[in-house]
Amino acid sequence: MKTSPDHKRHGILRTLLKQLGDIDFADDLRLHSYTQQQMRENMVADSARHS
């Protein structure tokens, strides 16, 4: 079965868009992790101040 050049171009574009989506997802996870860490640190600091 042959694939047309047009199909290949769309396949490449789809692959690039998927990779960009994966990068966005990884950034979102990193931000979420950072936010959780900051919240934990703030809770510990607040707890220490009020003790």
Residue 35's identity, in one-letter code, is T
H-type alpha helices, the chain? 5-50
pLDDT in tens, 13-48: 888 888 888 988 888 888 899 999 999 999 999 999
d(CA 28, CA 45): 26
Which residue type is seen at 49? R
> What residues contact residue 3 under an 8 Å CB cut-off, 6+ apart?
11
pTM equals 0.51
Indicate the SS3 state at residue 15: helix
pLDDT at 7 over 60: no
State how far the Cα of 49 lies from the Cα of 38, in Å rounded to an integer. 16
